[in-house]
Amino acid sequence: RRRLTHVDLARMHSAGEKIAMLTCYDASFAGLCDAAGVDALLIGDSLGMVVQGHDSTLPVTVADIVYHVGAVVRGSQRPLIIADLPFASFQESPQQAFRNAAALMVAGAQMVKIEGGVNMAETTQFLSTRGIPVCAHIGLTPQSVHQFGGYRIQGRDADGAARFMADALAQQEAGAALIVIEAVPAALASEAARRLSIPSIGIGGSVDCSGQVLVLQDMLGISAGRKARFVRDFMAGQTSIAAAIAAYVAAVRDGSFPAPEHCY
Ligand code: KIV
Ligand code: NA
C-alpha cells in the first residue's frame, strides 16, 4: 500500500470526499489510525500539551517533532504524514523555516504545517518552490496565545473576518497545498472553504471544510482539563479505541461531525 500524498487529498476534495485527519505521536496509535482509515496524521506541536504536559505548545522543539514523526511513520503505511514546525523554528526567516522543515522531511514527513497567513506567505512560497509541501494553519493559532491574550475565537468582528479571509487567500496564492482553519465562526469558515480551491481542514471550523482534524487524545476523551467546544468524545458508546477512531472517520465522511454544537 502506498502512502497518500497531498495530490490524493486534492483529488478527494475535488470529488467531494471528506478528509479525515487526526493528530498522532506514536507507532501504536498510528497503526490503529491507519487501520481505521484515517487519511492524514499530523504530528502536531499539541504533543507539548498532551504528551509532555506543558501548558502551551511553545516549549516544543524540532527535535521533539522529529522523534515523534519517526514513530508515526514506522507505525503506519497509508496516511499522509504532516509535521508541525514548532514555535521559534520558522518565524525568523524563510531560510530558517527551510532548514527546520528539511529535518522534518528527512524524518519522514511529507508536508510541514506552519501557523500563519499573510505574515508567513513568503515562507510558504519559499518552501513550496523548494520541494516542501506546506499546510497553512490560520484562525486561532496556538503559538500566538500570548499575542491573542488567551485561546480566543478569531475572526469574530468585521476586521477580524477580513484579516482571516486575507490570510486564507494569501496562503493559497503562496502555494499552500492544504489549510487548517481553527476556531473561527462557522459561517466564516464555510465562506473560506467555498472561496479556496485547495482543501481546507476544520477544527472548530465548519462542516463545509474539505475535512476535519482533532487531537487524538481529545477525541478519545483522555485529555486533562476542560474540553473545547469543537471536541466530540468518540469513545462514548464504543468498546475499543479502534472502534472510536473508526466512528470518527465515519462521522467525518458522512458529514455528521462537526454538528452545530461543535462549531462557533
Ligand atoms: O498541534 C496540533 O494538534 C494542531 C491541530 C490542532 C491542528 O495543530
Ligand atoms: Na499545532
Q: What is the pLDDT of residues 32-84, one digit of tens each?
A: 999 999 999 999 999 999 999 999 999 999 999 999 999 999 999 999 999 99
Residue numbers in the known binding site for 3-methyl-2-oxobutanoate are: 45-46, 84, 113
Mean pLDDT over 156-160 rounds to 98
- The pLDDT mean for the chain works out to 98
Binding residues, by number, are 45-46, 84, 113, 115
Mean pLDDT across 89-97: 99
Mean pLDDT of 147-153: 96
Task: Provide the pLDDT confidence category of residue 223 given band limits of 50, 70 and 90.
Answer: very high
Q: Is the pLDDT of residue 224 over 90?
A: no
Say what the pLDDT of residue 122 is: 99
- Atom 4, ligand 1: residue with shortest CA distance: 44
Using 50, 70 and 90 to split pLDDT, how confident is the model at 253?
Answer: very high
Say if ligand 1 is within 6 A of residue 44 CB.
Answer: yes
Say whether pLDDT at 1 is over 90: no
Contact 242, 36 (CB under 8 A): yes
Q: Where are the alpha helices (DSSP H) in the chain?
A: 6-15, 27-35, 47-50, 62-75, 94-106, 121-128, 145-148, 158-174, 186-195, 216-219, 241-253
Cell 494553519 found at: 137
Q: What is the pLDDT of residue 234?
A: 98
Catalytic residue numbers, as ranges:
182
pLDDT bin (cut points 50, 70, 90) of residue 179 is: very high
Whether residue 112 has pLDDT greater than 90:
yes
Q: For residues 216 and 232, what is the distance between their CA atoms, to the nearest angstrom?
A: 11
Residue-range domain boundaries for the chain: 6-262
- Contact present, 138 and 167 (Cβ < 8 Å): yes
Amino acid at 95: Q
Inter-CA distances, 6 with 168, 218, 247, Å: 18, 25, 24
Distance 174 CA to ligand 1 centre (A): 21
Rounded to the nearest angstrom, the gap between the alpha carbon of residue 141 and the centroid of all alpha carbons in its chain is 11
What single letter denotes the amino acid at residue 133? P
Query: Rounded distance, CA 75 to CA 7, Å?
Result: 22
46 alpha carbon – ligand 2 mean position (Å): 5
Q: 86 is written with which cell numbers?
A: 514548532
pLDDT average, residue stretch 218-226: 93
Q: What is the pLDDT at residue 225?
A: 85
Domain 6-262 has CATH 3.40.50.2300: no
Please give the share of the chain, as a percent, with pLDDT higher than 70. 100
Q: State the average pLDDT over residues 89-115.
A: 99
State CA 143 to chain mean position distance: 13
Nearest-ligand number for the alpha carbon of 47: 1
